[in-house]
Chain A
């Protein structure tokens, strides 16, 4: 089944403790991205990647890192999480440059930083 898999689904952590949210897709998509969803602010893009070793900032990249060493994986790294990073996170992927193809989203990761 074609899908984007995020792990974990739920995570509670403490301020400053490094964490990684994994994202993997099995559709051989070139384009991957991360979004966060917050009440009243909607979904905002954090980072995106056009292909292996190619990443760029979205609208809200501060406090996050990403890497794209393999085509299928696009982990989101919080080096020193803070409470304002409490949010619902989504990974998405698309074929080609994403221009003419739909995006597939993962099931989401609900992160709480205390």
Chain B
């Protein structure tokens, strides 16, 4: 199956800092999403972004499908941004959404 690799595994930020999370994948994809898992365990859909660039407030994402990577940008981070960020994708005829191992973000006040 398709391999998903996220980096870095952990990220500690001071409030107000900017950061970039990366997701590399091993094959062509037809669905790529970024999720935020909050401290209560809920998976919040941030972006559906199989290609191109999207922005939502302080968050933005870019997927370069031809080079098999996606980036999630967090600007002016806040303590509420803490949690685990997952990249999840599916490719080909596989209906399974494959998740990366996640990046744990801790934002300190």
Tell me if B106 counts as interface (CB < 8 A to partner A): no
B99 A42 Cβ-Cβ under 8 A:
yes
Contact A99 B99 (CB under 8 A): no
Cα distance A59–B100 in the bound complex, in angstroms:
15
B77 at the interface (CB under 8 A from A): no
Per the CB 8 Å criterion, the residue count for chain A at the interface is: 25
Contacts between the two chains (Cβ within 8 Å), count: 56
Of the four ranges (under 10, 10 to 19, 20 to 34, 35 or more), the interface on chain B belongs to 20 to 34
Whether A58 touches B99, Cβ cut-off 8 Å, given contacts A99-B90, A103-B33, is no
User: At the interface, yes or no: B97 with Cβ under 8 Å from chain A?
Assistant: yes
Say yes or no: is B101 at the interface (Cβ < 8 Å to chain A).
yes
DSSP class of A's interface residues: helix, strand, loop or mixed?
strand
Residues 69-95 of B, flagged 1 when their CB comes within 8 A of A and 0 if not, give 000000000000000001010100001
- 7 smallest beta-carbon distances between A and B, as pairs: A102-B48, A105-B43, A43-B99, A45-B96, A108-B41, A99-B30, A107-B42
- Interface residues in chain B, defined as those with a beta carbon under 8 Å from any beta carbon in chain A: 30-31, 33, 35, 41-43, 45, 48, 50, 86, 88, 90, 95-97, 99-102
